[in-house]
Structure 1
């Protein structure tokens, strides 16, 4: 305690009130007035500078000026963004955050700019910080969920929940360490589970590297939480950049990695393992031929393939119909997805990925499984020569009749001599299969070429054999190739008659292979755009709804005595025509490639505006217009005429209004498009009397399900699958409540209720909309409600609608995964609170066992067909 004999110190004088500084006050007052005047004049840059001066000189004004300052910052940032002044933009945000370091709105807005510019890690950090400051901040929550899917891809959860996979890796690592491999390098560590396995096995030194900043920070947290901080060295860098002794103290005797994708080589494992020769030593390589590096887990792989018929693959990669909404598609030329097994582009992956066991409609094997490749990851010379390997050619007997839609590929990963993992379609595994789309008929024998250009595994179906004759597919598709020239691999040419025979067969697939100019005419569409073109019910429904609208408008115009108003219309085939009726203006603002504007123009007396942007896509629409007798003047490309995104929904001319505006309302993944309701509100203001927004209404349907699969794909389920390591709490920070790209028709689940109407979005009537709705659903079976899958009925008008949950749909479904499963008994009533905020759907659920459904909004049952 203080010395009592000490003489008390003189008390501190009361602090005087600081003197007023008239000059400063005058400067603040003038700057504040100038800021407000500049804001009124929309001179946001100057206004921002004045606000900075005011708030730095007079912090007491922060609360008073916060809203105006935010508004000025956001407007000025948008201008800087449009001018490409990115550094100035972020400088402004840094200055703003010095003044308001805990303002969640400014932090979230900066994150949005970072995300748009590709800085996903940094964006996620800002969204996460904004959520910590205000956990119920809906914009930050939606942004964080969106970026979380980029930062921690969903396969991480499946992989960590795959106990069999984790256990086999652990056993292989234990055996290697027991055999003397005491120094370990983990390439692409992810959450650090393999590094922790090595340390637990007794490795003396463990080093891990991870390129993703998010995963690197996550691994550091996980290692610390498991008591291994300081015992495992984690580097935020690419393995190819590591050097001894700069980054790693000494050469390692064991390299562990799982940098493999569905196509085996797509994550760069070959480059990484070649580079390991600089950072590993050979003394542990006891069971493989001598090499120049340490042992590798996995030790190698065997790749298998199989030719399959699959309608789901077909409709996502090529046009399967000859007519779309009344438009004959022959003039479009050859349309296909960017993923083509015959692609010559070495910069793109030659495959897509699918879980074959979950494809709607299933698949039919057309050949027996075949071995495509063996690779020894411990043999450096083999790895270095992989890209220069000679193309191998396999002759595969066709065992079933049908259309050949794809080569499906999987592999067996050999961890060591005794243990392996299979990614085959019949296995219960966290991997999908690689799909190489093919466009041909199956003959008696299929001829496949296998190569490894650019360290991608490439499989190409180059020919079919029928009745002892070989038909090369590129010959059939390329009329310009000289008749007597050999094929690319030097094989014999078929006779002209045989070639014509196969070409004729190919034409039966519904794809025009012989455009009028005699040349191959390729146009690439995204997989979802191809599936959309193949969605005949949607286009037929739209055609009927548009025809009804135009007919009604014509009748109304005639009744008002305005049918004599004319403008000249021309037909390019016959020259200028007599003046016709004033056209109806239709605007299609669909995302990506769309033929809806062309279908509207085909109604006659319609001037259609399309938002298709890509020149080659516009060329396809022009060709289709000519081939289907639609005058050139009837179709315009709207984005060629507007200066910025804000002008997309403006009027076609000062005195005209839109007769119809077509909005793209649902993303392919199964979510409502962002800012849909804002766009609909603006669109309604631009319609002529009697005009319509398509669709006019969207009804959201859902049901209660029990699905362990959705749980496995959404979050790590405790410590048991991760071998006792504490990983779940850390990676589950990146769990998102909405699971997208779901196919409900093949999802492994139990239906615990009938389908019910959950929500309605009325695009034509603002007063009919709401943001929250309570719906009561009765459980039809006992179980655990783990998720609420949902889909949409899209009403083009009162009578015509299409579902996003149908066999022909190009849309997938989505599901809200509950934070905690809800135990129900048959007959229980479950109250769902459905909320829509900024296009983000959330669902809360609770059981009301004794409640009756009286007085609740329409919880009527409806049928959903797959």
Structure 2
């Protein structure tokens, strides 16, 4: 009798869910679990599915009170449930932009169960958003820190100056100013999270007189402020020098600055220089070999909607400087009119003429800058200088060469516009994919074998293909050989236009191709409806080399519902390989040494280190292998937590597990390598 009663309640809850009456359905689940607590574990998964739908509906109506009431009640029913904790964190992240609260829930869930990938991803995302990699790089740049410290010591007048540090993060610049004993020091950051860290840093370093404040608009006079600022310090520049963060902060602060106020740095100058590098050119332009294959060799194909990229030129082995540098922007940070002028433009902006050295070719334009912190202290990002600072990379300025005058070897360059002279525009995912020529070649080499395999059961003119690579290179080759149809996807209108142009250039009839538009959203399982395919080319790896949780879930749907008997799913296996290593790369971008800052900061920020770093190029990162490679999982489509024995081959401190993937087609057709780091050190340890 008892069994019949709870079964009836669950049945009613399911019926209400099917009619999208999620609130009433959840209340039925609550009633069933309250009366019969022994059954709740059996229905936890379907409860969560309905609960997720309810939260999505309620979030759209911005009914926060009811949302939190349901979260509280669900936690009472399922205390310590990692999926619900993750759900709460995602709500804070998606609908409230409350990163610190989201991070706390993700961390709590991860402490309960560290094996769930989606929770670890969310935790790493929130940690990176709260304390970005650029903050680690800035703090670890000892040369930059020493330069700022020297300039501050040179310029501060003890017991007279009223000092403010803008966008100051954990407060290092305020510590440098405080040791010079000015009248007062205030450190500002618009992030409440950073304010909390800065307060801890000041306490640890006995800098009790430093005022730590959170004020996103510096134009508002701070409470209790008596004296106007006469020394302003800022260091949140980027690879193009004049970002909006720096200029807007100075503009907002101007009302609270003394008429004779000084800014560190007091001026900056941006330069451009022409270079020749096939490696670098691939970062912003489609390479010639792939254009020839795609039959668009006469077209200039570049990144869409991009003015400049951030690149560290020291990693490019084929780089050659083929022009002298030319100054394109000078700004006086002590001049309000200068700041107003450059705040309204995209940096770099303007026009320049570069004279190319004889018998040389220019492939890219690079930007670097000098900052004058004082009359005696200058720092530079010039990649040719051995004294260059490392926290800011160089600017790879794309789509800029507008005219070349051959007889004089003169290049006219216009800055601040998108895609000047580009015939086609593509997203970074397609550019990265197609410019990986070893990858493209092994895919093309797989086509012949695939045709032989499929030809045993079906004519090539009857073959239907699904290719969800960033660009359907496998599908295109099959169409050129006579396949019946191709389903592919486009993530933007630029990509869709590029796909259609390539198909037309290769004589592929438009009716043979269906392009699924996935503009500004993730690929969903239901986008394919009931279609079946003879070949599906779909990898769980994204272009960063990481395993995509969304793609992995779609793989199961594709294999179950969209592929027939005797058909092919490529790659049919992705093996995960791991190796114990040591690399300095992690020390600079995922941790801090107090030796680099001269104060105690490391302990205050170590808990914000991430456990996973992707999109790495091991050709450009030095590391020491401490073990033999070992197979962690033979199939990334179906992974579980495992314990792996590793053969240690070298002594040393292990600070990461280097992971890469081997992708296998038919009969070991090809291997595709992608890299990522998993730092070994525990978060907070």
Q: Same fold (TM over 0.5)?
A: yes
Q: Where does structure 1 lack aligned partners over 5 or more consecutive residues? A: 1-25, 282-291, 341-349, 440-459, 475-487, 489-512, 514-519, 558-562, 564-580, 805-810, 821-841, 843-866
Match of 2:234 in 1: 257
> Please, what TM-score do these two structures have when normalized by structure 1?
0.69
Higher helix share: 2
Q: Distance in 1 between matches of 2:181 and 2:19?
A: 62
The answer to whether the 8 A contact 1:31-1:50 is kept is no
The answer to whether the 8 A contact 1:308-1:406 is kept is yes
Q: Kindly state the Cα deviation for residue 735 of structure 1 after the two structures are TM-superposed.
A: 0.7
Q: Kindly state the Cα deviation for residue 133 of structure 1 after the two structures are TM-superposed.
A: 5.9
Match of 1:450 in 2: none
Is 1:776 equivalent to 2:646 in the alignment? yes
Cα distance 1:237–1:78, how it changes in 2: closer, same or farther (>3 A)?
farther
Q: Kindly state the Cα deviation for residue 100 of structure 1 after the two structures are TM-superposed.
A: 1.9
The answer to whether the 8 A contact 2:401-2:411 is kept is no
Cα deviations across residues 611-648 of structure 1 (Å, max 9, x unaligned)? Answer: 22434433332332233222333211245899982314
Is 1:399 equivalent to 2:357 in the alignment? yes
Farther off after superposition, 84-93 or 211-220: 84-93
Match of 1:356 among 293, 313, 327: 313
Q: Distance in 1 between matches of 2:656 and 2:210?
A: 38
Match of 1:375 in 2: 331
Match of 1:92 in 2: 67
Is 1:329 equivalent to 2:296 in the alignment? yes
Q: Kindly state the Cα deviation for residue 356 of structure 1 after the two structures are TM-superposed.
A: 0.3
Match of 1:819 in 2: 681
Match of 1:724 among 599, 614, 617: 599
Cα distance 1:684–1:87, how it changes in 2: closer, same or farther (>3 A)?
same
Match of 1:410 in 2: 368
Cα distance 1:315–1:117, how it changes in 2: closer, same or farther (>3 A)?
farther
Q: Distance in 2 between matches of 1:110 and 1:757?
A: 35
Q: Kindly state the Cα deviation for residue 352 of structure 1 after the two structures are TM-superposed.
A: 0.9
1:116-515 aligned within 5 A: 116-117=94-95, 119=97, 121=99, 122-131=101-110, 139-179=118-158, 181-228=160-207, 231-240=209-218, 242-244=219-221, 246=223, 248-281=225-258, 292-321=259-288, 323=290, 326-330=293-297, 333-338=299-304, 350-359=307-316, 361-386=317-342, 394-399=352-357, 401-425=359-383, 426=385, 427=387, 429-438=389-398, 460-468=400-408
The answer to whether the 8 A contact 1:791-1:814 is kept is yes
Match of 2:489 in 1: 611
Q: Distance in 2 between matches of 1:183 and 1:190?
A: 19
Q: Distance in 1 between matches of 2:530 and 2:84?
A: 34
Q: Distance in 2 between matches of 1:325 and 1:546?
A: 18
Match of 1:81 among 44, 50, 56: 56
Q: Distance in 1 between matches of 2:42 and 2:160?
A: 62
Q: Distance in 1 between matches of 2:447 and 2:621?
A: 35
DSSP-derived class of the 1:801 partner = coil
Match of 1:284 in 2: none
Q: Distance in 2 between matches of 1:396 and 1:279?
A: 42
Q: Kindly state the Cα deviation for residue 279 of structure 1 after the two structures are TM-superposed.
A: 0.6
Match of 1:658 in 2: 533
The answer to whether the 8 A contact 2:9-2:28 is kept is no
Cα distance 1:144–1:397, how it changes in 2: closer, same or farther (>3 A)?
same
Q: Distance in 2 between matches of 1:730 and 1:696?
A: 46
Q: Kindly state the Cα deviation for residue 40 of structure 1 after the two structures are TM-superposed.
A: 4.8
1:17-96 aligned within 5 A: 33-34=8-9, 36-40=11-15, 42-43=17-18, 46=21, 48-49=23-24, 51-52=26-27, 55=30, 64-65=39-40, 68=43, 71-78=46-53, 81=56, 85-88=60-63, 91-96=66-71
Q: Kindly state the Cα deviation for residue 789 of structure 1 after the two structures are TM-superposed.
A: 2.5
The answer to whether the 8 A contact 1:270-1:383 is kept is yes
Match of 1:546 among 439, 442, 447: 447
Cα deviations across residues 264-310 of structure 1 (Å, max 9, x unaligned)? Answer: 112432232233321111xxxxxxxxxx3412112222333321112
Match of 1:449 in 2: none
Match of 2:89 in 1: 111
Cα distance 1:708–1:430, how it changes in 2: closer, same or farther (>3 A)?
same
DSSP-derived class of the 2:546 partner = coil
Q: Distance in 2 between matches of 1:212 and 1:267?
A: 17
Is 1:790 equivalent to 2:659 in the alignment? yes
Match of 1:744 in 2: 618
Cα distance 1:751–1:252, how it changes in 2: closer, same or farther (>3 A)?
same
The answer to whether the 8 A contact 1:759-1:773 is kept is no
Cα distance 1:94–1:237, how it changes in 2: closer, same or farther (>3 A)?
farther
Match of 1:526 among 406, 411, 427: 427
Match of 1:669 in 2: 544
Is 1:636 equivalent to 2:636 in the alignment? no
User: How many pairs were matched up?
Assistant: 667
DSSP-derived class of the 2:125 partner = helix
DSSP-derived class of the 1:275 partner = helix
Q: Distance in 2 between matches of 1:57 and 1:544?
A: 58
**Alignment RMSD (CA, Å):** 3.8
Cα deviations across residues 717-770 of structure 1 (Å, max 9, x unaligned)? Answer: 2x3222122x2123221111222222211213344456554442265xx6xx65
Q: Kindly state the Cα deviation for residue 364 of structure 1 after the two structures are TM-superposed.
A: 0.7
Farther off after superposition, 427-436 or 186-195: 427-436
Q: Kindly state the Cα deviation for residue 139 of structure 1 after the two structures are TM-superposed.
A: 4.2
Cα distance 1:31–1:51, how it changes in 2: closer, same or farther (>3 A)?
farther
Q: Distance in 2 between matches of 1:44 and 1:181?
A: 71
Cα distance 1:357–1:521, how it changes in 2: closer, same or farther (>3 A)?
closer
